[in-house]
Homo-oligomer: A and B are copies of this chain.
Amino acid sequence: MWPDHLEAGLRRRNEDTRLRILSTAERRFAQRGYDATGVAELCRSAGVSKGAFYHHFASKHDLFLELLDSWLAALDSAFAAAVEQADDVPTALRGMADLVAEGIRRPEQRLGMFVEFWAHAQRDPAIWRRAAEPYRRYLAYFERLIAKGIEQRRFRQIAPERAASLLTSMALGLLMQASFAPDDEAWSDTLRGTVEMFLEGLEDVRR
């Protein structure tokens, strides 16, 4: 048995190690690709032993899925906050766009990871299932948001399903394009301008 304060210290160090491995992996996968990055290299980059690595993750594949989960969890809570703070659906969607614009300050990392996930989902059934489930969930979530916007008379009488598909496509497409923007500011402008265009198209002109 360890004294309490020592055990807490150990837990904290353990958690530090885990997070260091995760953030190193995120960076390396984005820079070099998942296939080209080995566990030995990840351990070297993160400054941890192989023993420590396998204490936290069953495999590189397992680590990859954890990154996906933590990415989605961050997105979920950011979106929930944007909806909570907004008086109506267009404002909520603008808030989400701002959050994404803010969150993507280092496109070489997060976005690289995002495209890596997608490439792997195409050929790895386990990653496919993990990616397809949140994809369907977001689609349904956006559909409910659009329906609420129609109820609020902010949007015209459109089919929520189709509008949700356009919104989801736009969001995915914007993420993919981020790396082609000359800088963060240009990208934020494009993102916000595109979302405005989308909202204009849905607007209830009777207002």
Contact = CB atoms under 8 A, between A and B. Distances in A.
Interface centre among A190, A196, A205 (most CB of B within 10 A): A190
A194 B169 contact: yes
Nearest to A174: B169
Given A162-B196, A176-B176, A197-B159, A122 B190 contact: no
A170 interface: yes
Interface string A165-207: 1101111111011011000000000100110111011100100
Q: Chain A, interface size: which category? A: 35 or more
A122 B115 contact: yes
Q: Tell me what chain A mostly uses at the interface: helix, strand, loop, or mixed.
A: helix
B177 A169 contact: yes
A122 to B, nearest CB: 4
Nearest to A35: B35
A108 interface: yes
